[in-house]
Amino acid sequence: MKKPFVELKNVSFNYGLDPVLNNVSITVDEGDFLALVGPNGSGKSTLLKIILGLLKAKGEVTLFGEPVSSFQHREWIGYVSQKSNSFNTAFPATVKEVVQSGLTKKAGLFKRLPKDANKRVHEALAAVGMEQFQHRNIGELSGGQQQRVFIARALISEPKLLVLDEPTVGVDIKQVQSFYDMLGELNKKHNLTIILVTHDIETPSNQISHVAFLNKRILFYGNMEEYNQIPKEQIYEWYGHSVRAV
């Protein structure tokens, strides 16, 4: 039987008086690839912060079967924030150094690297198809390539769950499909559970297993087959009228 990695039950949250999330309930099982989709300001980042234990909400939040407040295994969750790709391009760090920093971030600056650090850097870069770039400066890479490197940095501590906040912002439109294919491979071949947050309803769907559509509350939650049956007009309505029709 599949194990629930993340369970949210009736989660509500306000910043001051403004309600941002209202009675949100979703479950992410082991092996799922969930796209959490919603327009700007719909509460996606807030929900991620609640899942990561950075904000405390009303309702129940469980990680790997434990209440988020007492969950100890932070290393089981790899997180790539929205800001990762606004990397200072003049910063003189190689791809290898960036990925390696995923090993030292919890141990502190002066902690020695594990003996197998080189092998692990290589494996993490290979998993995202970037092994040939390890000696390049991070600032010389494209947005999509940088995003892959940040994912490798998250993968190096061998998480069970990977959380990605708007990972395709700054990725060339032509590279988006191959980026999703890479994530699909991590999900299926490496058995990595993924939550991907995006405002893009055109998110390539062939790799994704489930969709949650959020606009302060959950308007839809189901598998891809169920999602594909929703008329596009309905989705545009959920978005308001700012989304172009295709």
Ligand X SMILES: Nc1ncnc2c1ncn2[C@@H]1O[C@H](COP(=O)(O)OP(=O)(O)OP(=O)(O)O)[C@@H](O)[C@H]1O
User: Interface with ligand X by CB under 6 A: which residues?
Assistant: 15, 20, 38, 40-46, 199
Q: 148 or 216, CB closer to ligand X?
A: 216
Closest CA relative to residue 238, chosen from 212, 208, 204: 212
Spatial distance between the Cα atoms of 28 and 5, rounded to a whole number of angstroms: 6
Residue 198 beta carbon to ligand X: minimum distance, rounded to whole angstroms: 8
CB atoms under 10 Å from CB of 50, counted, come to 24
Q: 39 or 222, CB closer to ligand X?
A: 39
Q: 16 or 108, CB closer to ligand X?
A: 16
Spatial distance between the Cα atoms of 182 and 230, rounded to a whole number of angstroms: 27
Q: 45 or 62, CB closer to ligand X?
A: 45
Q: 186 or 197, CB closer to ligand X?
A: 197
CB 95 within 8 A of CB 134: yes
Residue 18 beta carbon to ligand X: minimum distance, rounded to whole angstroms: 6
Spatial distance between the Cα atoms of 98 and 217, rounded to a whole number of angstroms: 37
Spatial distance between the Cα atoms of 199 and 99, rounded to a whole number of angstroms: 27
CB 57 within 8 A of CB 50: yes
Alpha helices in 52-190 (DSSP H): 95-104, 117-127, 143-155, 173-188
Residue 15 beta carbon to ligand X: minimum distance, rounded to whole angstroms: 3
Residue 38 beta carbon to ligand X: minimum distance, rounded to whole angstroms: 5
Q: 95 or 208, CB closer to ligand X?
A: 208
Spatial distance between the Cα atoms of 88 and 137, rounded to a whole number of angstroms: 11
